[in-house]
Amino acid sequence: MAVSTAPGPTGRGPQPPLGIDELLERVRAGYERIEPREAYEAARAGDALLVDIRYAALRERDGLIPGAHVVERNELEWRLDPQGRHRLPEATSHALRIVVICNEGYASSLAVQSLHQLGLHRATDLVGGFQAWRGAGLPVV
């Protein structure tokens, strides 16, 4: 198993590798996640942009959240960067509140970290993802 040669937290020696659970914990400690009902209300009020990053087979199998923007994960940063040429028309400000939705709320947390690095500090993700949205009885088409 390879060990990182990047300096550790003290700057002295290699940093041990992280497991995905620890990485998710660290990432999520940097922002407040949102529950399905709160995300629904924020989107209805025009206070949040819902962004579905699930892959096509899951969207076809389970349906879509009405009004959510479908953006494949590999395009997310390009489509939401307010300074980017390929941005969504709605992605006009770094102050935009974005709610990233994956299937169960794991990949979306890592996507939010990337959006924060672009300066989209109000980006968050849906606790439990699409499955929690559907489980809460919220609209799906």
Model confidence at 138, pLDDT cuts 50, 70, 90, reads: very high
pLDDT one-digit tens code per residue, 97-131: 999 999 999 999 999 999 999 999 999 999 999 99
Task: Tell me, yes or no, if the pTM score tops 0.95.
Answer: no
Residues 37, 43, 45, 46: what is their CA dihedral angle, to the nearest 10 degrees?
160
Look up the CATH superfamily of 20-135: Rhodanese-like domain (3.40.250.10)
Count other C-beta atoms under 10 Å from residue 8's C-beta. Answer: 11
